[in-house]
Amino acid sequence: MSAPGGPRADGRPAGEPPTGDTAGGPPALALRGVSRHFGALRAVDAVDLVVPTGARHGLIGPNGAGKSTLFRLITGTLRVSAGSILLGGHDITGQRESVRARLGISQTLQHSSLFLPLTVAQNVMLAAQRRHGSPGSLWPRRQQAARDRVAELLKAVGLGARADTTVGELSHGQRRQLEIAVALACEPRLLLLDEPAAGMSRAEGERLVELIRALPDTVTVVLVEHDLDVVFQLASTITVLHLGEVLLTGSPSGVRASAAVREAYLGTADRAELFVGGD
């Protein structure tokens, strides 16, 4: 795994889908007419979405747009009311959450799910054990290999020197970094990041951007984030949800220029300081 901030192995810009054989295969994630209804409320309504393998795909929208509900449908914590979900070309619509996790879907949550009394390394080790089986399958036969993997992940997220620190001693930004290491310990094919920059300082947010940029192309990333500048720095394609439906899917420049997107966020199509960063 590349160190955070390091160049991608093939020199492509961050977030650009791979080329060659990988691009010719099925997408990492495909949603076909996915809906979730709660009585008369259509929280997610006939959403179509295609995310190529290795892509960095942004998912944005105003509060109540259906972003978190859509993530729950992908991970399996909620069942779809209609439509299908494909992972690497395979239909997983009827699979349980635990099965989807074993197939390679991992997620960081808006609210931390870390074990605060445990050390940084122990949190990552627990995630690795969940991926590879019971603790007995790791100890002692694979003890050293597991420790090496934990050390590699912590170095990749910038926490190599904090392995023996209890999670309760970490800053908010460091905890978010650790959550990514925990997610990567599950060896995901698809990583769903739910507001990873929430509550971060500007400096912490910049470190997070570099960390996500440095993830290998074997990990496809879908990012929900209210900090739109973070999304525009990371994503090559952005889908805008509004009232449970896809309003627009396009490039960052196309989303920035869209009057429909400004109206969804601000209630007016007039130009305003919705996107404060540069292209």
Q: What is the pLDDT of residue 20?
A: 34
Of the two residues 14 and 174, the one the predictor is more confident about is 174
CA-atom Rg of the chain in angstroms? 19
User: With 70 as the cut, is the pLDDT of residue 167 above it?
Assistant: yes
3-class DSSP state for residue 8?
A: coil
Give strand pairing partners of 35: 82
Distance CA 260, CA 86 (A): 29
Answer whether the bond into residue 52 is a cis peptide, omega within 30°. no
- Please compute the mean of the pLDDT values over residues 154-164 and round it to a whole number: 94
User: With 50 as the cut, is the pLDDT of residue 14 above it?
Assistant: no
User: With 50 as the cut, is the pLDDT of residue 54 above it?
Assistant: yes
Q: What is the pLDDT of residue 202?
A: 86
- Please compute the mean of the pLDDT values over residues 102-113 and round it to a whole number: 85
Place of tokens 């290795």: 54
pLDDT in tens, 29-44: 999 999 999 999 999 9
Reported in sequence order, the residue ranges of 90-156 that DSSP labels E, i.e. its strands, are 90-91, 105-108
Q: What is the pLDDT of residue 12?
A: 38
List the structure tokens of 211. Answer: 């960390």
Angle at 20 between CA 15 and CA 23, to 5 degrees: 55
pLDDT in tens, 188-202: 999 999 999 888 888
Hey, what domains does the chain have and what are their CATH numbers? 1-104+188-279 (3.40.50.300), 111-170 (no CATH)
Distance CA 262, CA 270 (A): 7
What's the pTM value of the predicted model, to 2 decimals? 0.83
Q: What is the pLDDT of residue 275?
A: 59
List the structure tokens of 146. Answer: 């597991």
User: With 80 as the cut, is the pLDDT of residue 227 above it?
Assistant: yes
Distance CA 74, CA 76 (A): 6
- C-alpha distances (whole Å) from 184 to each of 50, 66, 223, 231 are 22, 25, 15, 20
Distance CA 4, CA 206 (A): 11
Provide the CA 240 distance to its chain's centre, in angstroms: 16
pLDDT in tens, 116-152: 999 999 999 998 887 765 555 555 666 788 889 999 9
pLDDT in tens, 57-103: 999 999 999 999 999 999 999 999 999 999 999 999 999 999 999 99
User: With 60 as the cut, is the pLDDT of residue 6 above it?
Assistant: no
Q: Are strands 82-87 and 90-91 parallel, antiparallel or unpaired?
A: antiparallel
Contacts of 125 (CB under 8 A, 6+ apart): 146, 147, 150, 185
Are the CB atoms for 172 and 85 separated by under 8 Å? Answer: no
What is the overall mean pLDDT for the chain?
85
